[in-house]
Amino acid sequence: MRPAHLNRLSVQQCADRYLDLVRAKTVTGALSPATAEVYARDVTTFADLAGPGLVLDDLTGEDVDAVLLAFARKPDGRRTHPESGTQSASSQSRFRRSVSAFFKHATLAGWVQLNPMTAATVTARERGGLRPERRALTREQAQGLVGAARDLTAAEPDAGRRDQRTQVRDALIVLLLSTLGPRVSELVRANVEDFYTNDGVRYWRIFGKGGRTRDVPLPRDVTDVLDTYLTTARPAAADKALLLSWRGRRLARGDVQAVIDRVQRHVDPAQRRTVTPHGLRHTTATHLLADAVDMDAVRRVLGHSDLSTLGRYRDELPGELEVAMRAHPLLRRPATGGER
C-alpha cells in the first residue's frame, strides 16, 4: 500500500533518507557492503545531476532521461585511458537500476505520487550503451597478460624503494583474477587463512555475495606463485589480509586496477588491451566455456547461484564460429580398423 500523505521533500533529503535505509540493511546483513557502496555512489550522483534542492515529486520522466544521459557522458573516474572516457554500458545499466530502486522506495515512502521511471524513455542502447571494446580478453591477449605475470615472479626484486618491490603480489593478483574470475570485492577481502590444502590440492575458500561461500581449487601455476608470495614476498604484518600494500595494509578495491595496469606495461603491445577486474572475470568465464568446460563447474567457480547468469559473462570471441564449424561433431570421420 502507498502512504496516504505525500511528503514534498527535496531530492537531497530523499537521497539521504534512502541511504540511511541502505546502511541499516547493511548492518542487518540484508545488503552486502559492496552493494551498499554502489547504491550510495549512484544515488549521490543522481542527486547531484538532478539538482539537490529540487522537490523529488516535481521530477518527470524527461528529467530522469536527462540525468541518465548526463551520467552516460560523465568521464569514468576509475580509468585514465582516453578510449574509456565515458561510462561503459554496464555502468550505465547499473546506474539505471540504482535509480529505479531509489524511486521504487520513494513511491512506497510517499515521497512521489507517481514513479517517474515509468515515463523514462532512455534505454541503455539509446544512451550509447554499446561497449567500445569487448570486455573479455581474447586468448592471445589473456595469455600475454598471464605471461607477463609469470615473468614478474621470475624477475629479480626491485633494488629501489620498498614500495617498488611488489612484483610477486602483482603477479598473484593478475593470475587469480584471470584464472578464477573472482569479484574484486572477494579478492580484496581474502585472508591468508582462506587458503588451505586438501589431498595435495590448494583451495581458496571464497566468501561471496549473500553470505555464500565456495571452495575453488587453484591451478598448479597459481599455487606456486601463492606459495612464493606467502613465504618470501608478503610483508610481515599483523593484518590477516592476503594482499597487503608495502606498508602492510590491506589493499583496497581501487588499488587492483592500478596493479593490472602496471602488469600490462610488461605485455607485448601487440597483445596488450586495457581491461578491468570485472573484464578479467568475463575472460575467465568466456574461455572456460569456449573450451567446453561443464557449465555448472564454471558457475561454481564464478559463484553464481543460477546458470542463466552465465549468459551475461560469456562474450563473443573472434573466429570461434569458424573453429566450431571446422570441428563439427557430425562431420568427423568414423573410426576405422578393428575398433568397436
The catalytic residue positions are: 183, 209, 278, 281, 304, 313
> Cell numbers of 239, please?
593484518
Dihedral (C-alpha) 202, 221, 267, 232: value to the nearest 10 degrees? 70
Query: Which residues pair with residue 204 across a beta bridge?
Result: 195, 216
Measure the CA–CA gap between 258 and 267, rounded to whole angstroms. Answer: 15
Phi, psi of 196 (to 5 degrees): -140, 165
Measure the CA–CA gap between 278 and 214, rounded to whole angstroms. Answer: 19
Alpha helices in the chain (DSSP H): 11-28, 33-50, 61-73, 89-109, 139-154, 167-180, 184-189, 220-228, 253-264, 277-290, 295-302, 320-326
Measure the CA–CA gap between 84 and 81, rounded to whole angstroms. Answer: 5
> Cell numbers of 121, please?
524513455
Measure the CA–CA gap between 6 and 159, rounded to whole angstroms. Answer: 66
Local structure of 207: helix, strand or coil: strand
> Cell numbers of 151, please?
615473468
Cβ-based neighbour number of residue 77 at 10 Å = 8
